[in-house]
Amino acid sequence: MNEWVLILGWLGLYAPMALGAVGSIIGCAIAGQAAIGAMMETEGGHGKYLSVSAMPSSQIIYGIVVMFTLNRELNGANAAGIFGIGLLAGVALLVSAVYQGRSCAAAINAAKAKPEIFGLSLAPAAIVEGFAVFAFIFALVISAGIPD
């Protein structure tokens, strides 16, 4: 068997966790920077800013679950499928975490200026989370068709 096929399989196996982690790191950093800026400019509500800045961390959890779902002995029959699902799910989680971080930063900045819209300002971040959930569910469902 071609060892490159196995190497790609291993990359696909760990891609959802690794790429989800990278996205969560970037997303939380973006939102966290906005939270720190908001805390410097406001007298209260600091806990809500910090909690919103952690929202992009969910993508690493999805990536870990997908990784465990894909985990099986790699062979020529399943390595390409694991690579495809793992890489594409990982990229989707990475991108969604980064853009969720940007949405959270915008919500924090909006709520800083107008605190009464805090809940409503989180809607875009929740929508982005929904797309991460779609990628997560898709990866779980399609992985059932990969041979052992």
pTM of the model: 0.93
pLDDT at residue 61 greater than cutoff 70: yes
Q: How many angstroms separate the CA atoms of 34 and 36, rounded?
A: 5
State the DSSP code for 115: G
Cβ contacts of 118 within 8 Å, gap of 6 or more: 45, 48, 107, 111
Residue given tokens 């990628």 in the structure block: 135
Reported as a single tens digit per residue, the pLDDT across 92-103 is 999 999 999 999
Are the C-beta atoms of residues 28 and 102 closer than 8 Å to each other? no
Angle, to 10 degrees, between the axis of helix 3-41 and the axis of helix 79-113? 10
Q: Domains of the chain (ranges plus CATH)? A: 3-143 (1.20.120.610)
The alpha-helical segments, DSSP class H, found in 1-78 are 3-41, 46-53, 58-70
pLDDT (mean) for 79-83: 96
Q: What is the mean pLDDT of the chain?
A: 95
So what's the pLDDT on residue 109?
Answer: 94
pLDDT (mean) for 28-47: 92
pLDDT (mean) for 56-60: 97
pLDDT class of 1 with cuts at 50, 70, 90: low
